[in-house]
Amino acid sequence: MRLAVFCSGYGSNFQALADAVRRRKLRAEIVLLVSDNPASFAVRRAVRAGIPVCLISPKLFESRAEWERLIVRVLRSQGVDLVVLAGFMRILTPYFIGAYRGKIVNIHPSYLPAFKGAHAIRDAFEAGVRETGVTVHHVTNELDSGAVILQKKVKVRRGDTLASLEKRIHAVEHRLYPAAIRKLLSKRAR
């Protein structure tokens, strides 16, 4: 399976996926890192790993749809089978989702359906819940609402700070994302 990973920031989930591929724990190929942010550390990670980078700022286009049409052409030219969102901080339009319907996955730092949106860890922490989690799901037109592929709960410990909770959630993400993609691969193989 040929993957395109989309990142806007640090890229720790991208790194976890690249490491899983390199160690042959994930039988896939990351053929492209797509980023909308030239300052993204994920871009440096991809360059170090020898993975091609598609870095195109949406600000260069008159509309988001125009930017997405170009990205879809790039993905198709690379034979991408699965779009993997890993800290990509843009909401995709129905056009893009339709172009890759059923072939876009996302990782979200909460046990969905709780705490949707961009600040899930902070929102869970501030709500004082006893547990939150991580969810890998299919992407649909509705934010953080697609069918769940894998989920794992994360307890909020007494004495946790936002930083300590974030660290534990990210550690779970780094294990769960490769496992979720393995699950998708095994379904395709049947």
Domain of 55, CATH number, reads 3.40.50.170
Closest Cα partner for 135 from 160, 156, 161, 117? Answer: 117
Question: Is the Cβ–Cβ distance between 185 and 29 less than 8 Å?
Answer: no
For residues 6 and 19, give the distance between their C-alpha atoms in angstroms, rounded to a whole number: 16
pLDDT at 152: 98
pLDDT at 187: 83
Q: For the chain (length 190 residues), average pLDDT per consecutive 10?
A: 97 98 97 96 97 94 93 98 96 96 97 96 98 98 96 97 98 98 86
Residue keyed to tokens 């059923």: 102
Total domains in the fold of the chain = 1
Q: SS3 for 16?
A: helix
pLDDT at 190: 67
Closest Cα partner for 162 from 134, 126, 116? Answer: 126
Q: SS3 for 151?
A: strand
**What's the pTM value of the predicted model, to 2 decimals?**
0.95
Question: 21-28: which pairs have CB atoms within 8 A and are 24 or more residues apart?
Answer: 22/49, 25/178, 25/182, 26/178, 26/181, 26/182, 26/185, 27/1, 27/182, 27/185, 28/1, 28/2, 28/3, 28/82, 28/181, 28/185
Question: Is the Cβ–Cβ distance between 183 and 150 less than 8 Å?
Answer: yes
Cis geometry, peptide bond prior to residue 113 (ω within 30 degrees of 0): yes
Residue 91 is which amino acid? Answer: I
Q: Which residues are catalytic?
A: 108
DSSP 57: -
> In terms of residue numbers, what domain contains 62?
2-189
Q: Which residues contact 160 (CB under 8 A, 6 or more apart)?
A: 125
Q: Cα dist. 21→26, 31, 61, 83, 90 in Å?
A: 5, 11, 33, 15, 25
